[in-house]
Structure 1
Amino acid sequence: MNFTPALVGFALYILIWEKLPEWGNWFNWILQRLPKPLQTLYAQWRCPYCVGFWMALALHGATGLWTLPALANLPGFWGSAAPLVGWFLDALATATLILICKLTLEAIGLPAMKAHSMRQEFMRKMAEEASK
């Protein structure tokens, strides 16, 4: 199993849907000027599994990387459909890994943010007590 396509796909997901909208007005300005169907597509593709599938297809086409290399050589009974079936199944597997990455990051992130918040509150109280 090769995790490279899932890792690159997840990195692109974070960049496009979580970071670029926060990094200034230029990205949001571009989004607002896209045709309405593309704006709708961007707004609806928040799901890491859904967008991960299409990213996986694009990444496979651009790089030739497989998440599951065994899917590159499907049995002969698939005939000329074998490459399409292989790409489809590989994209599903990659999308699943992208979703797992997203869920894992959220599961780790929430306790970390809570701990940071609690520490900040503790430090604030300690500073108040020291100044009395």
Structure 2
Amino acid sequence: MTSILVVDDEYLIADILAYALEDEGYMVVKASNGQKGLEILDHEQPLLVITDFMMPRMDGLEFARAIRSRPHPCDFPIILMSGAQGSLGRTSPELFAAVFDKPFDIADVIAKVRELIGPPR
């Protein structure tokens, strides 16, 4: 099944994303910060990651860099969601396939997910 990792310390936003993506047929795994997200990547192989920028322990930029520096191939797309730091993500296209400013339109996020990884399998 097509899985997506959602990393956000705001549980309401993580839940909204997860419910919307699950309604589309994707399987979603959630983490509350970048460190937990990396732990999940040790045993899950998502096709896409959606991450917040401002989080405890590791911000979204640090998280994306950590993903890209992992020894096994981690070339899946990463989408950044940010309330204030979207411009930082936009200057790092090698890390982020897309950047959405909060508040975001969930339909736009789903359309971008479909564009990046296709429909759920």
| Alignment TM class, shorter chain as reference | under 0.3
TM-score w.r.t. the length of structure 1 is: 0.23
Structure number with larger C-alpha Rg: 1
Task: Between the two structures, name the one with larger relative contact order (CA 8 Å, sep ≥ 6).
Answer: 1
Structure with the higher strand share, 1 or 2: 2
Structure with the higher helix share, 1 or 2: 1
TM-score w.r.t. the length of structure 2 is: 0.24
